[in-house]
Structure 1
Amino acid sequence: MTYDTVREVDQAIADALEGERARQNDTLAMIASENHVSEAVMEAQSSELTNKYAEGYPGERYYGGCEYADAVEELAIERAEELWGAEHINVQPHSGSQANMGVYLAVLDPGDKILSLDLTHGGHLSHGHPANFAGQVYEVEQYEVDAETGYIDYEGLADHAEEFDPDVIVSGYSAYPREVDFERIQETADAVSAYHLADIAHITGLVAAGVHESPVGVADFVTGSTHKTIRAGRGGIIMCDEEHADDVDAAVFPGSQGGPLMHNVAGKAVGFGEALDPEFEEYAEQTVANAKALGDRLQEHGLDLVSDGTDNHLVLVDLRPSHPDTTGKEVEEALEEAGVVLNANTVPGETRSAFNPSGIRAGTPGLTTRGFDEEACREVADLIYDVVEAPHDETIIAAVSEHVDELTDEYVLYESAPHR
């Protein structure tokens, strides 16, 4: 993909687009929620469907001229059903957060109760943070992971649910490196007559590939993002049993959004089709293997991992035991200067602020898409440790940057990308 036509009409935007393409090619994307889609997904998302309004659902649109929009959405749904096995799927949400909003609107009234994981313990804004719509519209209490082990305290969750009597319990997390026992959380929800919403935004691809237990058929509702480990068009998805289908669809449109972004739905359809290829299972397995290799090497260097390891695509490092005077933000900024892009993150029992926390979160979906294996991820772990040891040493940062250049040259992302 080139931006020659854009350049003819808007030099500044073309420069920014080419700069971003070069940045992605020349750096290591390790933000756990990011990935790299194929050229085919990008081409679908830039199609003429960006011009088309298609309010409603296939066969029941409020505008004419939707025959091809219907075909695209129907394919996206069919492929999603094959990937995850849900009875009903809505592929229209613009994001994972709007997918969550759709579920809340479908089953809750303002002031109803949500029980979800605390943000500093690995939850997500849309699960009920006070700054988010969910925390402003609903009454929210939050459970925590065990501070000693880093694992979800399922017994504590059950006790909290019995005391709080929520209408919805949310599982699925933004910074939790362990497999989730969805059936156990469903038992807790059943015990208090609550709905169970499993937000698998981070692990949609791992669930589709069978390398993480699926909440589909267990939880009442499953939501997710479609651009993280699944590598499809950017957006959200809702899955549920047929009994909730009408309420969910009405909550998405017209309840929380107007016309779907049909070009994004096309990107979802293409990405879902790619995930149905047997090679995608290998990709998902490698993503998890790479995360384990990354985490193991970081531990060999003496860094502490929340929960002492990982079962999925990410590792969460608590810098306090080994580097008590170093913040996650310092490490994030130094690593970005060196070409390794990850994020500072809160850790259980956080003693600093969310803006300058005590941990870093690193994921392997993007590296795995580039072709990294366990040995390459161990190399990356060495680079991360070098910067953690000396985040203000420009000589170290320059050396790490040089090594990153070698890795990005070896594992090329987009062949046509210019270099910075």
Structure 2
Amino acid sequence: MGERVEVEPLATPFDTWLAGDPEVRKLLREEAVRQRTCLQLIASENFTSPAVLAATGSVLTNKYAEGYPGRRYYGGNQVIDEVEDLARRRATELFGAEHANVQPHSGASANLAVYQALLEPGDTVLAMRLDQGGHLTHGAPASITSKIWRFVAYGVTPASADPARPGEVIDLEQVAELARRERPRLIVAGATAYPRVLDAQPFREIADEVGALLMVDLAHPAGLVAGKAHPSPVPFADVVTFTTHKTLRGPRGGAILCREDLAKRIDQAVFPGLQGGPLEHVVAAKAVAFGEALQPSFQAYAAAVVANARALAEALAAEGFRLVSGGTDNHLVLVDLRPFDPELTGKEAQEVLDRAGITVNRNTIPDDPRSAFVTSGLRLGTAAETTAGMGPSEMARIAGLLVRALRCRHEDAEVARVRAEVAELCASFPPYPELERAQEA
């Protein structure tokens, strides 16, 4: 955990409501302080709007609503039906999809529901390897998905010393070769640590050649697609899953888009197949986030996220880090620490940066010689601090602070000085300026 910085807690309505539980209120205040005084650079995190927070903490959490609008197993769902219909309409409008299911509790739940809907146990699925940038639910040995279905993994091309063609991009030739040999029922396109644009069209062509269905896992770049900073996979995919947080800036949760002819199977897989009552307070917050993403300002935000990631990547490369794939096209930067310091592991770097108030996560890089718990890399993201209002100049400053902390990681006094500078920077870009202004008033 980062060195503590003394700041006055923000007053929120929850302070009053939690007066009877001072222990929880204290912990929530501490987390609010951490978010206000530390740099949030985890690629899968963001700052939601106050409206999303309000919906997530609303009275809708009191209502059970098993089923779907118009077909519930409990009474009293007239308002809930309108809320969920609104979320579904906004999701289909935002992504140009025929059908949306907004009930999945997470991206993992959404992926599992798609497999449940479209596959039989033992069917073959082609998906990205975890240590090459894929997700646990893409058939990793530790995931239940690998226990039910037969996953065959593809990866990225080898790294290259040629700056014009650095490699470490999805190996589409390998995808096509494996598809022809294995004849999968489903091909999954998508990643959790891949800094390039995900192009669904070549996956569609490969799927059509071998008679496979195509699922695109859009968990990370969903907001970039919604904001038109990245191409949409919806015209090419049979099914698209995504998370509603990350770059989409909504509550933590998942959703599924699909063709109308698959809607019944998808819906039945979510409920009653995998889940009981949906979290309708979170569904309401998803509706809010979809509505926000439909505004023109969200397109400017998505473009800024990409520009900031490129600025951060360039600044880090200038400091001696190797960028996986040579750079980034999206919201995340995946760095190889070894050229910067061969002895520095991702685990140690993450811990040092926590002390310096810079929140990141260690991450494997393609062909990493270290374990997933130790790693040789870091994954950094710009979605949250872009929401806070930071731009390319702040990205350059962040890179400098990060480098200072890592180079002086054995000097507690210097790490503490970096921590103070981080807090100073964050104070100029509060994630919830509305609360800051209310506090001053």
TM-score range, shorter chain: over 0.9
1:152 corresponds in structure 2 to 170
Matched, 1:17 2:35: no
Corresponding position of 1:141: 152
Check the 8 A contact 1:352/1:358 in 2, yes or no: yes
- Give the corresponding residue for 2:7: none
Distance 2:48 2:220 in 1: 15
Deviation at 1:147, TM superposition (A): 2.2
* 2:128 equivalent to 1:117: yes
Matched-pair identity in %: 49
Q: Is the Cα–Cα contact under 8 Å of residues 320 and 339 in structure 2 kept in the other structure?
A: no
Q: Which residue number in structure 2 is paired with residue 103 of structure 1?
A: 114
Specify the code of the residue in structure 2 equivalent to 1:220. D
Q: CA deviation at 1:9?
A: 2.1
1:84 counterpart = 2:95: yes
CA displacement at 1:169 relative to structure 2: 1.1
CA distance in structure 2 between the aligned counterparts of 1:8 and 1:299, rounded to whole angstroms: 48
> 2:137·2:145 contact (CA, 8 Å) conserved in 1?
yes
Give unpaired runs (5+ residues) of structure 1.
Answer: none
In the aligned structure 2, how far is the partner of 1:334 from the partner of 1:242? Answer: 49
Contact (CA 8 Å) 1:233, 1:269: kept in 2 or not? no
One-letter code of the match for 1:64?
Answer: G
Which is worse superposed, 289-298 or 229-238?
229-238
CA offsets, 1:82-130, max 9 Å, x none?
Answer: 1100001000000001000110011111111111111111100111111
Give matches, 1:229-308, under 5 Å: 229-308=247-326
Alignment of 1:6-405 (within 5 A): 6-148=17-159, 149-405=167-423
**Letter aligned with residue 164 of structure 1:** E
Amino acid at match of 1:285: A
Alpha-carbon distance, 1:44 to partner? 0.6
Do the aligned partners of 1:32 and 1:314 also contact (CA within 8 Å) in 2?
Answer: yes
* Alignment deviations for residues 230-257 of structure 1 (CA, whole Å, 9 cap, x no partner): 1112210100110100000000000110
Structure 2: distance between partners of 1:25 and 1:121:
33
Q: How far does residue 323 in structure 1 lie from its aligned partner after superposition?
A: 1.6
Measure how far apart 1:140 and its partner are.
1.2
CA distance in 2, matches of 1:193, 1:45: 41
Q: Distance in 1 between matches of 2:225 and 2:80?
A: 27
Q: CA offsets, 1:156-180, max 9 Å, x none?
A: 1111121222111111110000011
Question: Aligned equivalents of 1:7 and 1:280: distance in 2?
Answer: 33
Secondary structure of 1:116's match? strand
* Structure 2 CA distance for aligned equivalents of residues 255 and 65 of structure 1: 23
SS at match of 1:353: coil
Does structure 2 conserve the Cα–Cα contact (< 8 Å) formed by 1:3 and 1:17? no
**By how many angstroms is 1:196 displaced?**
1.0
> 1:4 offset after TM fit, Å?
2.7
Q: Distance in 2 between matches of 1:72 and 1:328?
A: 43
Q: What SS class does the counterpart of residue 252 from structure 1 fall into?
A: helix
C-alpha displacement of 1:219: 1.0
| Deviation of 1:381 (Å) | 1.0
Equivalents in 2 of 1:306, 1:380: separation in Å? 19
Deviates more, 1:366-375 or 1:144-153: 144-153
- Helix, strand or coil at the partner of 1:254: helix
Say how many residue pairs are matched: 418
The DSSP-based 3-state class of the residue aligned with 2:104 is coil
TM-score with structure 2 length normalisation? 0.93
Partner SS state of residue 114, structure 1: strand
1:236-290 deviations in whole A, cap 9, x for unaligned? Answer: 0100110100000000000110111000001001111111111010000000000
One-letter amino acid matched to 2:132: H
Contact 2:40 2:359 in 1 (8 A): yes
Q: What is the alpha-carbon root mean square deviation over aligned residues?
A: 1.2
**Contact 1:86 1:241 (C-alpha < 8 Å) held by counterparts:** yes
TM-score, normalisation: structure 1:
0.97
CA shift, 1:402, in A, is: 1.5
